[in-house]
Structure 1
């Protein structure tokens, strides 16, 4: 058995995320939205910071229900800015509310999951990287998704954030070929 991808670990929460969640194809519109929001909060920080606060985020943002969050205003922003269980960044909190409204529009038009997965033809891209240095920070597809999300009203969704999101939700399989998770994740995309 090979070694895990170099970014995973050493903390157990990080290893568990790598082994059971990262790269697994996710087609649930609400779950995709949550992960995109969390990737936006991660900008400028380490992913382990977000992982450790994920349950706090889920509580503070009412299970990441975009239909609830879309109704929020300044009172909720003020409440969240005082919540030590999350990253207290006004711009990112306000963007979450804006993004909930944008999600509602896309969800009503075609479904958020369909909107995203159409960029890869509904099937995860299977990369075959042998080292972390080969893995790109962004791609033409992530740049296009970013551009289209922004056009739809989203914030905190640049090409690098979108690519990290695509990796997390399995739109691309970026587990290294020597990683024990590469082949099981690849098999999921063939189901």
Structure 2
């Protein structure tokens, strides 16, 4: 299982179009004990946010890119400083090119067939997306029973109400979600509760 994921059990999914907030956002997450961020490529200035956060994040803070859909985007996020890429689905070109660029890669899967493709590609962990619609912990139980050496990172519908249940599963090295820094709050520049939510999330991890 990917050790880098074990080091970052809470992966905040960040949708942000304001590069001027990147540094403060990274420090707010860090202050709460969360030392990574997935900057999704869903806004026009996402690459600027990623680059700004990477350039001035706290020591040990790791920044990656999410919603990476094609190999060309891998080059762009790598050049902006991303350490890992996350995709909603499995794309061979994205996986192969991310490895060529020396990045960790976490592709999304929604079926046993896609897990097998990921295993064939040499990956030991995948993102289960959308986890809530696929059955949540029950889906992980079923998949982990037949793919015992694969880690599953649930994303989609994950929040403080169920993160501890997911993290208690031995096949779950990390959870992914947007509740630590909601898009609506970031859009207004309100980061006042990010550290508080991050601290609470890490307490859920400790209790699982």
- TM-score (normalizing by structure 1): 0.31
User: Which has more helix, going by share of residues?
Assistant: 1
Answer 1 or 2: which has greater strand percent. 2
Larger RCO (CA within 8 A; separation ≥ 6): 1
**What TM-score do you get using the length of structure 2 for normalisation?**
0.29
